[in-house]
Structure 1
Amino acid sequence: MLTSLTMFGWIPFTLALFMVMPPKRAVVWCFFLAWLFLPMAGYKLSGLPDYTKMSASSAGVLLATALFDQGRLIRFKLRWIDAPLIMFTIVSPMASSISNGLGIYDGLSETNAWLGSWTLPWFIGRMYFKTADDMRLLATAFLMGAFAYIPICLWEMRMAPTLHRNFYGFHQHGFAHAVRWGGYRPRGFMQSGLMTSLYMCSGAVIGLILWRSRVPVRIGRTPVLMAAAVPVLAVVAFFCKGTGAIVLAVGVTAALFAAVILQTRLPMIVFMLVSPLYIIARAKGVWDGTDLVDFVARFSSERAQSLNFRFVNENVLIEKASQRPVFGWGGWNRSAVFNEAGDKTSVADGLWIILYGKAGILGMGFFMLSLILPVLMFLWRFPAYRWLQRSVAPSTALAMMLAIYQVDCLFNGMESPLNFLIAGGLSGTMLMARSPRRAANPQASGKPAKPAGGRPRGPHAKPTRLPRPEFGFQRS
């Protein structure tokens, strides 16, 4: 009863948020509250995307925008940065379906399924978040969500991950994966302990960057004591016991500070190359992962066995996907491997191999590109020495969060619409930012330099535009 009430009451709740607060804050509250606290439930609706907590958020925001913020919809324009996700959502499923003889209807059905998970959150992010202040709002909201999850994680570490069952009446994931390191791995109200760990570790990275950059963080009007809150968050994130998430958080933090200290983008570029190089090496059969399993076995036999299981299944699925490498096998679980009795014998863990088998290089490539491009745009727009400046730090934090997620897609198949909301927002913000060349030389584009702001002189003088803010963003 509570599950249905909260799920189908979310759209009216979203409309109420838009009525009592500014639209941008309403979007943030709607998406983050849904992601953190709504049940992991789904409803099949004929002709519509599956009704989940994030598709409910997207639908609610779009409806509220149409009712209370129509000008934003009218002013919105597609840009080149949107092309990869459009290709992934529309072109890729249609090509996969038609090439496999499944017909146009099946392709439209797949497009429909992907809209709520990835595409709509992206375009909502592009529509609403375009400035440095917007990036600060998103980064702060992500961090506040991590702080709010600290007591939830501590409770479930001690009492077992049962809050979702206690509130909504069912477990969102098998309980066998809840035991780690001689204790419990918390889940909260997310899909699994891995997802919770990834969120908490990403929140710790965001908190560290905002703390280091002295970005003020407040709960209402009360400032947060970051010197105490961020270390506590980092400790809790570590004891969420997601080994991969911990390694990625440490890795991206090391790359970030190495880049800032050495004043070069190279460490972050190397980190961003991990996913493309891994996918190419695995898809081409150049690397089978054995040496990595042997290395991990020196520290943990349990982690080595888990990693070996993933690689063995990936090898089988890669062999199947290589039979239709460009467009994939389409839907209906056709990319899986079955035995003679018709039983499925393969397990797909990583999101990349799931999309590779289903949508081929075309779909999987556009999906990964939609995550990587916003981060690369950030790396291009700002030199490394500026990444920890107060005005740029929120964008840096969100870019690091996306960098973590795109690598995590290699090993885990977790859909995260919240990341696509942030990716869309970061893309829109970077489109509004000045490139380093134009910032250094206003006449580099061949246009005359704009005069300094101020009241024009003389009766026939034309008004002049104010100069762009010093931190390199245009006014929205």
Structure 2
Amino acid sequence: MFVVLHILWAAISLGLFRTMRGEIAVWPVLLGGWLFLPPAGYAAAGDPAILPFWIIGSALPSDLFFSKAWIAPAIAAACSLLCDRARWYRLRLTLADVPLLLFCAWPSVQALLVRPADPGGTASTVYIAGVWGLPWLIAKLYLRTGEDARHLAGTLALLSLALLPVAIAEGATGWRLHAALLGAHPFAFDGIERYAGYRPQALFEHGNQYGIWCAGAALAACWRLGAEPGGRSRAGWIAAAGILLAMTLASQSAGAILLLFAGYAMLALRGSFAMARQLFPYLAAFLLLLGAVHVSGIVPLRSLAEETTAGQVARDMFRAAGRQSLPWRIGQDLKSLPIVQDRLLTGHARWDWFREAGTRPWGLPLLVLGQFGLIGFIGLVAALGGAFFRHLRRAARNEVAPARLYAVLLLLFGADALLNSFLFLPALLLTGACGASPRRGTGEVG
């Protein structure tokens, strides 16, 4: 069934490109693949009573090469090359693209320095180029104007409404679509029980990723609503935004709900982007310093949490609120820090470098550090941070610019990745959107 679904989606995608303009077809093909394809080929999900810590998110290469994070962009790019080839001839690279290019190429160099590499350097480069590089290329080709941004936001919101029947069925009964179509899912039971009913998962890697996707789609619908002049179409976007808001709340994912309302506030408040632009250098410096202290182990966070009064108070507060996932995730990070420190510069060149700790870090930054070291980590941070700052500058100049949506999605879901290895995949597009060139006569991208 896994292979059949991918072949079927490739045929549908080619049909969309044959019957629609490329700038319209690319978004249902790419976003639909991320949304509706199976997350990966889970051959053996394992005991559902045991959390499968050895399975990481699809943002990084592992022993699960064929994931929808890689396949969906590959299908979209292949269809574009077949049906919209002229657009690729106009592709131009800029200095803004260099950090991501270096991140994609680093595993091939790393494999020469650190042996053995698992997966191999070429395989890792191909995988990262598909997951991170292809969305960046697609955005450079297709996300160049305000009209392109409206197509992207509208498609993201409308396709996400298709999750509603699945969300109702899974949320009310605990039934799992993945189990019905493809068999057991390794994270089907992780955090499934919520305050009321069950958290849906659909065909995502994790229930957290479902909540994050709904929050991102709700923000896209909100921005799309603001871009509408009025009339019946505006009423439709109000309804879509309301349904997606309800789906996010019903997911009962605290992180996704907090991100959603933070995004609403940024989009609604005048001057929020100008203020954020002024604060960004200081915030970035603080986060980098905090990360360096955390990774170095200079401050014994475990001792502070377990042996100090303030640490005990913080743990009791999380326990009383029933929100112990944050301390738990930080605890998993701390267990793997000695392994990260062992090869901090070059990384271990292995996807399962954390096995000796008996667990793995839950956040993407430490997973990147452990596998690709500081060299790979700096390339990725420079690509994402540089893209965010360029969108932020454009958003501060123009109250209705698409860059407002781009900056919000990059900021909020980049922050979420600090504690999750599961990404809001459409945010990957926004590294390429900042370096895209507008069509002649259509004005600035942002």
**Shorter-chain-normalised TM-score: which range?**
0.7 to 0.9
Shift of 1:41: 2.9
Contact 1:161–1:178 under 8 Å retained in 2? no
Tell me the residue number matched to 1:145. 159
Q: Are the structure 2 counterparts of residues 97 and 132 from structure 1 closer, same or farther at C-alpha, using a change threshold of 3 Å?
A: same
Letter in 1 for 2:236: L
Q: Which protein has the larger Cα radius of gyration, Structure 1 or Structure 2?
A: 1
Unaligned runs of 5+ in 2: 44-62
Q: Are the structure 2 counterparts of residues 67 and 271 from structure 1 closer, same or farther at C-alpha, using a change threshold of 3 Å?
A: same
Shift of 1:296: 6.7
User: How far apart, in 1, do the equivalents of 2:286 and 2:252 lie?
Assistant: 23
The aligned runs of 1:318-397 (5 Å cut-off) are 318-331=337-350, 333=352, 335-338=353-356, 344-383=357-396, 386-387=398-399, 389=400, 392=401, 394-397=402-405
Contact 2:13–2:76 under 8 Å retained in 1? yes
Contact 1:97–1:330 under 8 Å retained in 2? yes
Shift of 1:50: 2.9
Letter in 2 for 1:64: C
Q: In the alignment, which of 257, 263, 270 is matched to residue 246 of structure 1? A: 257
Secondary structure, aligned partner of 1:139: helix
For this pair of structures, how many residues does the alignment match?
Answer: 419
Tell me the residue number matched to 1:405. 413
Q: Does 1:71 align with 2:86?
A: yes
Letter in 2 for 1:323: D
Greater shift, 404-413 or 152-161, is seen at 152-161
User: How far apart, in 2, do the equivalents of 1:416 and 1:337 lie?
Assistant: 26
Greater shift, 141-150 or 18-27, is seen at 141-150
Q: Are the structure 2 counterparts of residues 11 and 207 from structure 1 closer, same or farther at C-alpha, using a change threshold of 3 Å?
A: closer
Contact 1:14–1:60 under 8 Å retained in 2? yes
Letter in 2 for 1:173: F
Letter in 1 for 2:295: A
Contact 1:121–1:421 under 8 Å retained in 2? yes
Contact 1:377–1:427 under 8 Å retained in 2? yes
The aligned runs of 1:442-453 (5 Å cut-off) are none
Q: In the alignment, which of 113, 125, 131 is matched to residue 111 of structure 1? A: 125
Q: In the alignment, which of 196, 200, 208 is matched to residue 210 of structure 2? A: 196
Query: Cα RMSD (Å) of the superposition?
Result: 3.3
Contact 1:355–1:363 under 8 Å retained in 2? yes
- Cα distance per residue 1:2-32 (max 9 Å; x no partner): x321112332322221111111222111111
Letter in 2 for 1:27: V
Contact 2:119–2:350 under 8 Å retained in 1? no
Tell me the residue number matched to 1:451. none
Secondary structure, aligned partner of 1:264: helix
Q: Does 1:260 align with 2:271?
A: yes
The aligned runs of 1:5-84 (5 Å cut-off) are 5-42=4-41, 50-84=65-99
- Cα distance per residue 1:396-443 (max 9 Å; x no partner): 12321121111111101114543323432x2234x549xxxxxxxxxx
User: How far apart, in 2, do the equivalents of 1:366 and 1:428 lie?
Assistant: 16
User: How far apart, in 2, do the equivalents of 1:261 and 1:233 lie?
Assistant: 24
Letter in 1 for 2:419: F
- Cα distance per residue 1:203-256 (max 9 Å; x no partner): 222333333x252699xx965433444233223202201112222233344455
TM-score relative to the length of structure 1: 0.78
Contact 1:255–1:267 under 8 Å retained in 2? no
Contact 1:197–1:245 under 8 Å retained in 2? yes
Q: % of aligned pairs identical?
A: 23
Letter in 2 for 1:55: W
Shift of 1:197: 0.3
User: How far apart, in 2, do the equivalents of 1:71 and 1:9 lie?
Assistant: 26
Contact 2:266–2:272 under 8 Å retained in 1? no
User: How far apart, in 1, do the equivalents of 2:112 and 2:20 lie?
Assistant: 46
Contact 2:277–2:389 under 8 Å retained in 1? no
User: How far apart, in 2, do the equivalents of 1:331 and 1:78 lie?
Assistant: 30
Tell me the residue number matched to 1:122. 136
User: How far apart, in 1, do the equivalents of 2:187 and 2:175 lie?
Assistant: 10
Q: Does 1:312 align with 2:331?
A: yes
TM-score relative to the length of structure 2: 0.83
